[in-house]
A = this chain, B = another copy of it.
Amino acid sequence: MNDIAVILGNQLLSQDFEQAGGGTKLEQAKHLASLYASADQAIVVLSDLVFNKSYVYYGSAAAALGLQGQLSGAQIDSIWEEEVFARIHPDDLQAKHMQELRFFHFLKGISPAERSDYHVVRKLRMYNAMNRYVPVLHRMYYLLDLRNDHTEMALCLYGFDHFPSDHFEGRIVNARTGEAVPAGDGRANMLSRREQEVLSLIDSGKASKEIAGTLCISLNTVNRHRQNILEKLRVSNSIEACRVARSFNWIG
């Protein structure tokens, strides 16, 4: 599992689900997932973030992608479909998880009414049954509980890309307007401007006292920012924080 997936998993699963309903909504989502799998012949993974489980539906494309012999609707005790991930090009898998992390935070930054307009699309490479990479189109939807601002479920679809290109890239798209969210959209950044400044200075090797002097703030404030950064990025030290933030282009 790549580092970004670990960070993303921690964030998805550590939401406060105390009031989560589940039940009927999960059954409806399973029904939608199985319909998608049979209509598009796609591989459809419904991940339940409340109970840390997934349900995998295999359309007929699964066999050609080397995922033969699976029971449709089978339950996995994880939000990650490792068996599918193992067939995705590692670079594309990491980029996919990075985008899903960005998408998770992006949705929190916009109004609840807007959220259902957005999803993620990505062109990626997957091994086929002959262990050759073939172009696949991945779509991902977060199913939200708007009452308590949770991302309760994720729906991932993998199907052959019928208009392949040489670019393997992903986009957060607004299906209502047709627009893609620009990669540098500030709303998708989970760090405040001040936190970015602090982290940039940490990244350039400065100590907390120097950072306080440079930004004309107290040492206490610097330390509070440090703490918030670690919490927001769900990492345990500044070196990890810098690496994650750099991978998102949040710090230069």
Chain A contacts to B: CB under 8 angstroms: 32, 35-36, 39-42, 59-61, 63-64, 117, 121, 123, 128, 134, 141, 159-163, 165, 171, 173, 175-178, 180
Contact = CB atoms under 8 A, between A and B. Distances in A.
A175 B60 contact: yes
A61 B160 CA distance: 24
A176 B121 contact: no
A140 to B, nearest CB: 12
A123 B163 CA distance: 9
Contacts of A128: 178
B163 A40 contact: no
A135 to B, nearest CB: 8
B121 A162 contact: yes
Given A123-B163, A162-B171, A178 B61 contact: yes
20 contacts: A35-B35, A36-B39, A41-B117, A59-B175, A59-B176, A60-B117, A61-B178, A63-B176, A64-B177, A64-B178, A121-B163, A123-B163, A128-B178, A134-B178, A159-B175, A160-B173, A160-B175, A162-B171, A162-B180, A163-B163
Nearest to A155: B39
Contacts of A178: 61, 64, 128, 134, 160-162
Contacts of A160: 173, 175, 177-178
Nearest to A28: B35
B175 A41 contact: yes
Given A40-B175, A121-B163, 18 more contacts: A35-B35, A36-B39, A39-B141, A41-B176, A42-B175, A60-B176, A61-B175, A63-B176, A64-B176, A64-B177, A121-B162, A123-B163, A128-B178, A134-B178, A159-B175, A160-B178, A162-B178, A165-B165
Contact of A176 (B61, B175, B176): B61
Contacts of A35: 32, 35
